């Protein structure tokens, strides 16, 4: 399945958002995720089914002003 | 004591966490300043990098209140989504709402800001809007549900200090009961003291401390300036007057011939 993750094209086997994070080696309970500009809470990733063409954002805490 | 959305806050100095020379200096600056609130952001993670882990564990170890921002957002949609994501990660409904309207000045797009503020307050967020010193915008933000205002005093990172004392005084005068935090544009401790003397409730700083020659010493200087300005405002300052007034009693002065 072809997806856009943080602006980059990926071809993955994962079907759920949870599985996608594992497949692409994103780890940590501090990550925030969105699919097609909608929040997907950490608790909902396992049940979130991906479809081809989805745009996924994976964010992490950073310094800020 | 300062109250922000019902929470009592002892320190009137809030610090950003970006641009420090090292994590150790960031920690020292935060501790020296005695701040209780620090701002943080969300940015893209890289595969396998765990780039946010160190920073996030550092912030958590300090046991501070975290104020996530929506820095860099230029649309209502971006800002609202970033706020949603921040709430999921940081477990707080506080959000420093920034919707930038101009690349050069980083001036907020106040129209989008008001709209985003309304959406987020309806969703239960406690919005800290980064705004200009415009009274009408301030009024709209309050109508949208904001209980705190954060006007700039100069463009972000400019270190120019209060550019429009009249506008800041007007804001303070028009909304005497609203907690107001001067956010952005402060460069020197005297700037912080100046806005606190105008009656503002707190200041939020980042660049002026982080990019100082000695950030820890500067954090200390700002903390003292904020305290001094606040104490002076509360003590009631003498208004300027045109004519000299002798401080030593005139009556009883000897007459020498």
In a domain, A11, yes or no: yes
- Provide the pLDDT confidence category of residue B140 given band limits of 50, 70 and 90: very high
Domain containing A39: what range? 2-59
Mean pLDDT of B133-162: 97
- How is residue B84 written in tokens? 């949603």
CB-CB neighbors (< 8 A) of B207 in chain A? 65
Share of chain A above pLDDT 70, in %: 100
Helices (H), ranges, B62-155: 76-90, 110-122, 135-143
Q: Are B42 and A60 an interchain contact pair (Cβ–Cβ within 8 Å)?
A: yes
Q: How many CA atoms lie within 13 A of B97 on its CB side?
A: 38
Q: Is residue B257 scored above 90 in pLDDT?
A: no
Domain count of chain A? Answer: 1
Q: Are A21 and A27 in contact (CB under 8 A)?
A: yes
* A31: nearest Cα among A57, A5, A2: A57
Q: Is residue A9 scored above 90 in pLDDT?
A: yes
| pLDDT, tens digit, 9 for 90 and up, residues B121-131 | 999 999 999 99
Q: What is the pLDDT of residue B91?
A: 96
A32 touching B (Cβ < 8 Å): yes
Q: How many CA atoms lie within 13 A of B159 on its CB side?
A: 10
Q: For chain B, give me the number of helices (H) and strands (E)?
A: 9, 10
A45 to chain B, closest Cα gap in Å: 12
The distance in angstroms from the start CA to the end CA of chain B is 58
Name which of B19, B40, B53 is nearest A28 (Cβ-Cβ).
Answer: B53
Q: Is B151 exposed, middle or buried (0-12, 13-18, 19+ CB in 10 A)?
A: buried
Q: For chain A, give me the number of helices (H) and strands (E)?
A: 1, 5
Q: Taking the mean position of all CA atoms in its chain, how far away is CA B235?
A: 22
- Provide the pLDDT confidence category of residue B35 given band limits of 50, 70 and 90: very high
A37 touching B (Cβ < 8 Å): yes
- Please name every residue paired with B37 in a beta bridge, in sequence order, or none if there are none: B65
- Provide the pLDDT confidence category of residue A1 given band limits of 50, 70 and 90: very high
Question: E strands, chain B, where?
Answer: 2-4, 7-9, 13-16, 37-44, 65-68, 94-97, 126-131, 150-151, 181-183, 202-205
CB-CB neighbors (< 8 A) of B44 in chain A? 6-7, 57-60
Mean pLDDT of A14-31: 96
CB atoms within 10 A of CB B149: 26
Q: Is residue B113 scored above 90 in pLDDT?
A: yes
Q: What is the pLDDT of residue B186?
A: 97
Mean pLDDT of B201-217: 98
Average pLDDT, chain B: 97
CATH code (residue A43): 3.10.20.30
Q: How far is CA B148 from CA B70, B178, B227, in A?
A: 16, 6, 20
Mean pLDDT of B210-238: 98
Q: Is residue B102 scored above 90 in pLDDT?
A: yes
Helices (H), ranges, B91-214: 110-122, 135-143, 165-174, 189-197, 207-210
CB-CB neighbors (< 8 A) of A64 in chain B? 16-18, 39-41, 68-69, 71
In a domain, A65, yes or no: no
Average pLDDT, chain A: 97
Name which of A7, A41, A64 is nearest B41 (Cβ-Cβ).
Answer: A64
In a domain, A64, yes or no: no
Q: Are A30 and B89 an interchain contact pair (Cβ–Cβ within 8 Å)?
A: yes
- Provide the pLDDT confidence category of residue A30 given band limits of 50, 70 and 90: very high
Mean pLDDT of B89-98: 98
- How is residue B5 written in tokens? 């959305």
In a domain, A24, yes or no: yes
Q: Are B44 and A6 an interchain contact pair (Cβ–Cβ within 8 Å)?
A: yes
- pTM more than 0.90: yes
In a domain, A38, yes or no: yes
In a domain, A33, yes or no: yes
Tell me the catalytic residues of B.
Answer: 96
| pLDDT, tens digit, 9 for 90 and up, residues B37-83 | 999 999 999 999 999 999 999 999 999 999 999 999 999 999 999 99
Share of chain B above pLDDT 70, in %: 100
Q: Taking the mean position of all CA atoms in its chain, how far away is CA B67?
A: 11
Q: Which of B47, B81, B205 to mutate to test the interface with A (most CBs of A within 10 A)?
A: B47
A58 touching B (Cβ < 8 Å): yes
Contacts of B24 (CB under 8 A, 6+ apart): none
Share of chain A above pLDDT 90, in %: 100
Name which of A24, A37, A42 is nearest B88 (Cβ-Cβ).
Answer: A42
Share of chain B above pLDDT 90, in %: 99
Q: What is the pLDDT of residue B249?
A: 92
- How is residue B182 written in tokens? 């001067």
């Amino acid at each position: 399945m072809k997806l856009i993750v943080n602006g980059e094209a990926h071809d993955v086997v994962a079907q759920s958002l949870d599985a996608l994070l594992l497949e692409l080696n994103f780890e940590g309970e501090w990550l925030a995720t969105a699919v097609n500009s909608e929040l997907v809470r950490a608790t909902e990733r396992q049940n979130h089914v991906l479809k081809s063409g989805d745009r996924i954002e994976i964010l992490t805490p950073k310094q800020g002003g | 004591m300062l109250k922000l959305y019902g929470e009592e806050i002892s320190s009137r100095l809030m610090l950003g966490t970006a641009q420090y020379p090292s994590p150790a200096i960031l920690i020292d600056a935060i501790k020296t300043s005695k701040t209780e609130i620090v701002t943080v952001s969300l940015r893209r993670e890289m595969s396998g990098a765990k780039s946010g882990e160190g920073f996030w564990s550092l912030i958590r170890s300090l046991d501070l209140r975290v104020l996530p921002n929506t820095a860099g957002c230029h649309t209502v949609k971006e800002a609202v989504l970033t706020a949603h994501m921040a709430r999921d990660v940081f477990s707080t409904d506080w959000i420093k709402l920034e919707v930038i309207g101009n690349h050069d000045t980083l001036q907020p797009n106040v129209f989008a800001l008001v709209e985003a503020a309304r959406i987020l307050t309806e969703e239960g967020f406690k919005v800290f809007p980064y705004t200009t010193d415009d009274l009408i915008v301030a009024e709209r933000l309050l109508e949208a549900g904001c209980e705190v205002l954060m006007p700039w005093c100069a463009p972000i990172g400019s270190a120019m200090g209060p550019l429009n004392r009249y506008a800041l005084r007007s804001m303070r005068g028009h909304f005497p009961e609203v907690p107001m935090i001067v956010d952005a544009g402060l460069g020197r401790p005297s700037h912080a003291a100046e806005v606190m003397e105008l009656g503002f409730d707190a200041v939020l700083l980042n660049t002026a401390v982080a990019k100082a020659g000695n950030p820890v010493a500067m954090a200390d200087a700002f903390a003292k300036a904020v305290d001094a300005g606040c104490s002076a405002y509360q003590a009631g300052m003498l208004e300027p007057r045109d004519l000299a007034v002798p401080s030593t009693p005139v009556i009883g002065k000897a007459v020498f011939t």
